[in-house]
Chains A and B, each alone.
Chain A
């Protein structure tokens, strides 16, 4: 499933409209003014969850953590197969690079947390149509180019990326995290003419922000679909819930020791991985087999082993 984090509504609205997401009612306690939109739009097989969590790395970390822990909790309660979470942080950003025009979309392969002096590295393992660059996350609004002697290390600067990464990395592998920033200004505005990152903070000129994002919606959807397809292609858990249940029941019925239970599961995994599609049928004859003592148990276990592991 997809988890998309944006700071402000105007960054999210093009996706909400395109994917026809609806606002979810959050159970208390929900953090701050966080908004949650969800749906299972056509191109995707799994639900899309879009979180609007506010500006700043701390808000980003809180919103990301809240969303992922809640979804992981739901997955544990669910009886279906768990779906891998793919995370995207989407938003506008400033750029000190004058050779990157306004509107360029940048997929970030390195995220520098300015305050913490740390760098994070998402794994970009799929093809994509975007320019790549380094994102630098500040805790404050970047009004203009820093004073002489102070450098901006990033190709783009924002206020959320590092917070999102630090939070998401506690749960997800680095190849399932994407950070896409659309260049909105070049940090070259005078102090009394705020940059778009200022506008983000004050939610001004939201329509301009939405227009910048909207241009890239088809490519963003394509990126997410590719990421989802790559995960689907990856091996799912070998044993189904039915088969896991069957193994558990058999271990109980035969009063297997902990070690033997582990060995039974390993035998079943080996059998299934080797192409055996009839595991429940193979195990079923012993599911009602009465075992009176350890000697009988060991004999039955040896029979099962021979059934699942022929020479």
Chain B
């Protein structure tokens, strides 16, 4: 999988580093001083690197936890934060904002998770915390490489005033199936129509596989969130999303769904500029988006129609209070992060 693994000098003695290196015994290990020496090189080609993604093991320095942006949805939580134990992801979604945000497609794993927990504990002494841990990656998708999610769940189960959201497109629930589901962990699946998955979300599991995972999690007692975000304005979108929603609730009983989020594709202007350079052949990225306060998204009328259409379909299955809408007029692309 990874032919080359860059290891920061500071990271080489961490147990997680040894754990990851043991999983890839044939990889070429390259010692580096700081992860940015590799990750931050100028003129890297994100798309080329995605075809042969390499791994960087590093030690994160403070800050470890960031306040959630006011324009991102907090699902009703007052103290909303996010954290990133990994940068980048194994998938290769055409619309992913990470390709506009990071200079490299190589996967960075921070091995000093205990430092993250220390900062979380300091925050928890002040107030309850809602923490999204899969913000700039898809942690569940790489749980077999490094068991970050299990570790965070273990931490959350010892800290009841912490609520953790794990957003994913993976079908990797089995990696967590042996755990007792804590009440303060939400497993959130991003769902898209199968045609959208095949065309715009390369390397991700099918809709059926994601739903199977989500259903199993719900049956085992986990809080399951479904994210129809980002909605994409693709040819035949009404029919595609109608069928996707029908398929979803045929697979998962509505009573087993904790809540739902809906949002259209949106991305900061500067990110899209880079994303278009990285994918010059992408019709999706070259759509003539409208700029609203530095965030590019579909024209307001299109966005409103998509949200209305999907929300109305959704209300056939779940009560309105379980449906959270992301304000597409000003939120950066929070929904496309997994």
Give bound CA distance, A175 to B38, whole Å: 12
CB-based nearest B residue for A231: B48
Instruction: Provide the main secondary structure of the chain B interface.
Output: loop
CB distance from A116 to the nearest CB of B (A): 13
The count of chain B contact residues (Cβ–Cβ below 8 Å) is 31
Name the A residues within 8 Å of B51 (CB-CB). 125, 230
Partner of B280, one of A134, A230, A235: A235
Partner of A169, one of B42, B49, B287: B42
14 A/B residue pairs, CB under 8 Å, sorted by A: A109-B4, A109-B28, A123-B49, A124-B4, A125-B48, A169-B41, A169-B43, A175-B45, A175-B49, A234-B47, A235-B281, A269-B276, A270-B288, A274-B283
Given A173-B48, A175-B45, A121 contacting B286 (CB threshold 8 A):
no
Interface residues of B in 18-43 (CB under 8 A from A): 28, 30-33, 37-38, 41-43
Partner of A121, one of B41, B52, B281, B287: B41
**Beta-carbon contact of B288 and A121 below 8 Å:** no
CB distance from B60 to the nearest CB of A (A): 20
Chain B 284-300 against A: per-residue CB contact (8 Å), 1 yes, 0 no?
10111000000000000
**Beta-carbon contact of B49 and A267 below 8 Å:** no
Name the B residues within 8 Å of A58 (CB-CB). none
CB-based nearest B residue for A266: B288
Chain A 117-129 against B: per-residue CB contact (8 Å), 1 yes, 0 no?
0010101111000
CB-based nearest A residue for B6: A121
**Beta-carbon contact of B283 and A273 below 8 Å:** yes
Give bound CA distance, A237 to B31, whole Å: 36
CB distance from A229 to the nearest CB of B (A): 12
**Beta-carbon contact of B43 and A125 below 8 Å:** no
**Beta-carbon contact of A174 and B33 below 8 Å:** no
Name the B residues within 8 Å of A267 (CB-CB). 288
CB distance from B317 to the nearest CB of A (A): 27
Partner of A173, one of B28, B31, B32, B45: B45
| Other contacts beyond A125-B49, A174-B44, A238-B280: 16, CB < 8 A | A123-B54, A125-B48, A126-B52, A169-B43, A173-B45, A173-B48, A175-B44, A175-B48, A175-B49, A236-B280, A238-B281, A266-B287, A270-B283, A273-B281, A274-B283, A305-B288
A98 CB within 8 Å of chain B: no
Name the B residues within 8 Å of A132 (CB-CB). 28
B151 CB within 8 Å of chain A: no
CB distance from B172 to the nearest CB of A (A): 26
Chain A 250-271 against B: per-residue CB contact (8 Å), 1 yes, 0 no?
0000000000000100110111
B279 CB within 8 Å of chain A: yes
Partner of A109, one of B30, B280, B286, B287: B30
**Beta-carbon contact of A230 and B41 below 8 Å:** no
A110 CB within 8 Å of chain B: yes
CB distance from B276 to the nearest CB of A (A): 8
B282 CB within 8 Å of chain A: yes
CB-based nearest A residue for B302: A311
Interface residues of A in 256-311 (CB under 8 A from B): 263, 266-267, 269-271, 273-275, 305, 309
